[in-house]
């Protein structure tokens, strides 16, 4: 199967949340709960990785951004599970004729350490998206708000492929003229 440039789309996603001072707020990253860590402030569960993935997918097909689909002014999304939001976004892009080829995420944080939970987080997102999702942990080396452990940021890049790519049709015939 061959693809033309019209059969591929790339999207860039970004999300950032600051840490909460509310001790009852849990930290959720890529759908995984990190017990004993400070949670992030957000209207939903503030899962920066899932949010960045959703934004990358939406952007790739020109369907806006996560805030357009799940506004933080709508009480319906208060405390929402971001994995459910990502599932909804995958449904939108699939309905628009696209499949996810892969998503690559760069998470910037001083804590928590992601390496011990990387496989679990990658598998959770891969299961939801239906394609490989990779997560890389990066430190801000004590620079800026992220480096001062004030929050977590995530960058995501998604590659999409048209569900039924155009195939070249041969104009040749077997006529004996």
Annotated binding site for a divalent metal cation: 15, 17, 51
Starting at the edge strand that comes first in sequence, how are the strands of the sheet with 8-18 ordered?
8-18, 151-162, 98-108, 133-138
Rounded Cα gap, residues 69 and 89, in angstroms: 9
Rounded Cα gap, residues 162 and 129, in angstroms: 15
Q: Which of these, 100, 85, 106, 99, lies nearest to 43 by C-alpha position?
A: 85
Find residue 8's DSSP bridge partners. 161
Rounded Cα gap, residues 132 and 79, in angstroms: 27
- The single-letter DSSP state of residue 120 is H
Annotated binding site: 15-17, 43-44, 51, 65-67, 70-74, 148
């Amino acid at each position: 199967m061959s693809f033309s440039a019209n059969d591929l789309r790339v999207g860039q996603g970004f999300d950032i949340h600051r840490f909460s001072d509310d001790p009852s707020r849990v930290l959720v990253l890529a759908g995984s709960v990190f017990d004993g860590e400070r949670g992030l402030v957000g209207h939903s569960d503030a899962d920066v990785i899932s949010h960045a993935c959703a934004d990358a997918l939406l952007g790739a097909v020109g369907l806006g951004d996560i805030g357009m689909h799940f506004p933080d002014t709508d009480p319906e999304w208060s405390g929402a599970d971001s994995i459910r939001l990502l599932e909804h976004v995958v449904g939108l892009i699939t309905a628009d004729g696209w499949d996810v080829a892969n998503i690559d995420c760069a998470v910037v944080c001083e804590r928590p350490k992601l390496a011990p939970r990387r496989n679990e987080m990658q598998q959770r997102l891969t299961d939801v998206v239906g394609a490989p999702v990779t997560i890389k942990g990066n430190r801000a080396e004590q620079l800026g708000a992220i480096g001062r452990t004030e929050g977590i940021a995530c960058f995501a890049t998604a590659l999409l492929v048209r569900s039924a790519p155009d195939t070249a049709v041969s104009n040749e015939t077997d006529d004996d003229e």
